[in-house]
Amino acid sequence: MCTGKCAKFIGIALFPFSVISLICNVILLFPGWKVDAVQNVKEQMTPEVVYLGGLIGGGLLVLVPAIHIQATGREGCCNNRCGMFLSIIFAAIGVAGSLYGFVLSVLGMVKGPTCLFPLRNETTNIVTPTWGRPFDSDFKDFNSENYLFNKTMWQVCELPKDVVEFNIILFSMVLASCGISLVLCVIQMLNGLFGCLCGTCGGKKE
């Protein structure tokens, strides 16, 4: 496969993953399918969602490079050594965006969602409904084991409804999309380098 055709394939392949990442991050803004968290971001929204790793990182910062990368595989102004050089730069932007979304997704899954849960005061032994991250290291009552592998712990979150499953599924999709996009962008950086050195199929035909 020549460098031009490879770039076209990679560019087209990046589109669905960037869209999936973008859509999942938008949905994450509405845990429990409600707008309550958006209206009270500081208290009720999971921080990794607010940082828009899927929307900006795995979404826009991959979508824009994908447009140029696939253009280098088509006959026209981009199907040359200069276009391949530019594709390396765009692919590097895609790598940065994918890595950003990937890291935030991992953190979002490891630390768990922000939710309303019963917090026991150690001194008074009084249980009070509190907004926070019960599976994070700050709350010793809930972090004795990994919540990802213990579904019985998920019931700790009272609101939003089913927020743990909500976060795990959507963050997993962003994680997978960003991971695949990261690999594709790295491959395009290598492909673009070969395109700069050896030229594209279009250039050889000319």
Residue 136 lies in a domain: no
What's the pLDDT tens digit per position in 150-195?
888 888 898 988 899 999 999 999 999 999 999 999 999 998 887 7
Residue 156 lies in a domain: no
Q: Give the per-residue pLDDT at 120.
A: 76
> Rounded to 10 degrees, what is the CA torsion of 154, 147, 102, 158?
20
Q: Give the per-residue pLDDT at 19.
A: 96
What's the pLDDT tens digit per position in 88-126?
899 999 999 999 999 999 999 988 999 998 887 767 777
Residue 123 lies in a domain: no
Q: Give the per-residue pLDDT at 130.
A: 86
Among 14-18, 73-77, 85-89, name the most confident range.
Answer: 14-18
How far apart CA 142 and CA 121 sit, in angstroms, is: 14
What's the pLDDT tens digit per position in 7-57?
888 999 999 999 999 999 999 999 988 888 888 888 889 999 999 999 999
Dihedral sign for Cα 166, 167, 173, 176, please.
negative
Q: How far is CA 66 from the centre of its chain?
A: 16
Q: Are 53 and 105 in contact (CB under 8 A)?
A: yes
Residue 129 lies in a domain: no
Q: Give the per-residue pLDDT at 205.
A: 44
Tell me, what amino acid is at 58? G
Q: Give the per-residue pLDDT at 195.
A: 74
Is 61 in a helix, a strand, or coil?
A: helix
pTM of the model: 0.85
Residue 92 lies in a domain: yes
Residue 118 lies in a domain: no
Residue 152 lies in a domain: no
Domain count, the chain: 1
Residue 79 lies in a domain: yes
206 vs 118, which has greater pLDDT? 118
Its domain, for residue 21, covers: 3-113+161-205
